[in-house]
Amino acid sequence: MDLKSPIVEEVKYNAHAIQSLETAVKGDEKKKELILDYPTDYIIYTKRDVKTDTYEVYVGETNDIGRRTLQHLNEDPKERPDWDRLSKKDDISMLVIGHEHFNKSLTLDIENRLMLYLGSVDSVKQLDNRRTNSQSKYFTSDEMEPLFTKIWRKLRVKNKTLFPVERVIRDSAVFKASPFHSLTKDQAYARELIMNKVTDAIGSNKIGQMIFVEGEAGSGKTVLLSSLFYLLSNIDGERPLDNYLLVNHNQQLTVYQQIAKKLGLDKENPDIVSKPTRFINNHSEDAPVDVVLIDEAHLLWTQGKQSYQGNNQLEDILKRARVVIVIFDKHQTLTTEEYWEEAEINQLRESANKQGNLVQLKNQMRMDASAQTINWIKDFVYGRKLTFLPKDDRGYDLRVMKSPEDLEKEIKKHAGSEESDEHGLSRMLATFDWEYIDKKKPKDGDEHWDVKIGEWEKPWNLQIEPDKELKLKNRGLSWAEQPQTINEIGSTYTIQGFDLNYSGVIIGPSVTYRHGKVVFNPDASFNSKATRRRTLKDNSKVRVADQLLANELNVLLTRGVHGLYIYAVDEALQQKLMEVQNERNMN
């Protein structure tokens, strides 16, 4: 596709902005027409803090840049706090973007993509806009992707801090959870259905209506939830809705808190994103909130513990909200305190289904792999069998490595440089089969808790201490985004809910191969939260480790977007994995 280069003009944002823009394009009739007469996108930005090089940004699109700029300068500060705040700044710039193929739909799509990207830039601390504008198919929709890359590269020439390389943005956890992603048809249908249900439920004033959204790892649950959260937080009505987003996962909590802060969703309520226990403790059944969205609801506690005096967090949340939107995947429950009996899950599903409140996301969106590859992983984990390893017609790189050294080498090769578009976020992961005690040092005098295989060893996650400068840069970043973690081994506690471009998974001794079957051995696991006994509804105490260790392996094997590398410690399992790989390579 031979697209002409976009035009990007930068002027000071003040009373003379339009005059400056006219001067900038004077003498070039085509450029003048595209900037002043055609639809355009624009970015208004100012530094929030000179010392830390951070920004406040507004993104917009218009059919008339002159009229729109005057409106922002003269009218908007009287009605909107964001424009009032901007009007009091001394040093503000405006970037105006034009192209000969721009039409209303294309500029709306570009605006939405700019929101998606800038919302994921670490130096942007405040991002202002009031809409999500992702468009469906239109005449020039196939030009959006290549044109946006051209636009972004031109913007990068203007300011490398505000407009970093695309790969850095796409690898960020905030980008992957952003509400500004274009939704698939399934997601858009689900969002519309849920929004209609929320409207009806709020109108009826009932308490504890549950919308149950289920989908496997990588089915787009997080993007749907983030989109709903943003939409509900900006809904127009007689009064703003009292919404909360809850997640029982420290790393994901940080990501959602960042998104809420950047988009100004936490201004009225700093606790709009929080953990379930905090929400339950801070709200009574007598004063229910409007809507609670729960990401990773399979991580909710289903029994009491020291910090939570109840018996079931979901039941307690339902008593404190008119509508509860639950995002659930039974194959990602990892500990006994989160364990749901199958009958309980079926009861939740049936209850939601009877009210038309059951939403199912079935398309795999994380792994860029064929259905055959995805089914091979499912057969491995839940079918407990190792079948013929398929050649992936989508180019997904699934390989068994001969040693942990080879696995490390491959992951580091793919991690590459952050300036490279050919590489990206890649990390090593492992099943919890080597000892790790949080906030304690090993008794043998070692500096770290390590994953050890023969002479090879690497520290578990969250142990390599970055220097002061790197620690400052790492603030707010997920485990995998921090540079020093390339030399650590991640676990489900740091990687659940996140993507990697390539993942290297070390399968420890708790996963074995015996008599033609994959067998989980709880005695070889150090994951006490998965191997201890669980008290069921009938008061019987049972071990559910077989299911929970399978879920642990499932989470680890489904992180890689473009590739997965495996090494197994159990000799029989490693031998069988190499065998099915060799059979594939011979065909």
209: CATH: 3.40.50
Rounded Cα distance between 556 and 506, Å, is 9
- Where is the domain boundary, 99, 130, 164? 164
Rounded Cα distance between 278 and 204, Å, is 27
Query: Does 68 reside within a domain?
Result: yes
Say if residue 393 is in the same domain as residue 512.
yes
Rounded Cα distance between 489 and 427, Å, is 7
pLDDT of residue 237: 64
Say if residue 384 is in the same domain as residue 260.
no
pLDDT of residue 420: 47
The model's pTM is 0.89
Say if residue 489 is in the same domain as residue 458.
yes
Place of tokens 């070889």: 524
Say if residue 133 is in the same domain as residue 272.
no
- Where is the domain boundary, 341, 361, 381? 361
Say if residue 149 is in the same domain as residue 213.
no
Rounded Cα distance between 24 and 44, Å, is 17
Say if residue 377 is in the same domain as residue 347.
no
Query: Does 180 reside within a domain?
Result: no
Say if residue 73 is in the same domain as residue 197.
no
| Nearest CA-CA partner of 125 in 228, 247, 262 | 262
Query: Does 177 reside within a domain?
Result: no
Distance of CA 494 to the CA centre of its chain: 13
Specify which residues 347 forms β-bridges with: none
Amino acid at 250: N
Query: Does 160 reside within a domain?
Result: yes
pLDDT of residue 586: 87
Query: Does 176 reside within a domain?
Result: no
Q: What 3-state class would DSSP assign to 335?
A: coil
Query: Does 179 reside within a domain?
Result: no
pLDDT of residue 320: 97
Say if residue 79 is in the same domain as residue 97.
yes
Say if residue 540 is in the same domain as residue 447.
yes
Rounded Cα distance between 414 and 562, Å, is 10
| Nearest CA-CA partner of 226 in 264, 179, 187 | 179
Contact 133, 105 (CB under 8 A): no
Buried b (16+ CB within 10 A) or exposed e, 109-127: bbbbbbbbbbbbbbbbbbb
pLDDT of residue 475: 86
Domain containing 89 equals 7-164
- Where is the domain boundary, 131, 164, 197? 164
Rounded Cα distance between 210 and 227, Å, is 18
Query: Does 495 reside within a domain?
Result: yes
Angle between helices 250-262 and 221-233 (to 10 degrees): 40
Contact 279, 292 (CB under 8 A): yes
Place of tokens 């944002």: 13
**541-543 and 533-535 beta bridge pairing:** antiparallel
Query: Does 239 reside within a domain?
Result: yes
pLDDT of residue 133: 54
pLDDT of residue 217: 83
| Nearest CA-CA partner of 377 in 222, 580, 146 | 580
Say if residue 121 is in the same domain as residue 225.
no
Say if residue 189 is in the same domain as residue 151.
no
Say if residue 228 is in the same domain as residue 88.
no
Helix residue spans in 387-452 (DSSP H): 404-415
**Total domain count, the chain:** 3
* pLDDT tens across the length of the chain (587 residues): 578 999 999 999 999 999 999 999 999 999 999 999 999 999 999 998 777 789 999 999 999 999 999 999 999 999 888 888 888 888 999 999 999 999 999 999 999 999 999 999 999 999 988 666 555 555 667 888 999 999 999 999 999 999 999 988 999 999 999 999 989 989 999 999 999 999 988 888 789 999 999 998 888 999 999 999 999 998 876 678 999 999 999 999 999 999 999 999 998 899 999 999 999 999 999 999 999 999 999 999 998 887 898 999 999 999 999 999 999 999 999 999 999 999 999 999 999 999 999 999 988 788 999 999 999 999 999 999 999 999 999 999 999 999 999 999 999 999 875 444 445 799 999 999 999 998 888 987 888 999 999 999 999 999 999 999 899 888 888 999 999 999 999 999 999 989 999 999 999 999 999 999 999 999 999 999 999 999 998 899 999 999 999 999 999 999 999 999 999 999 999 999 999 999 999 87
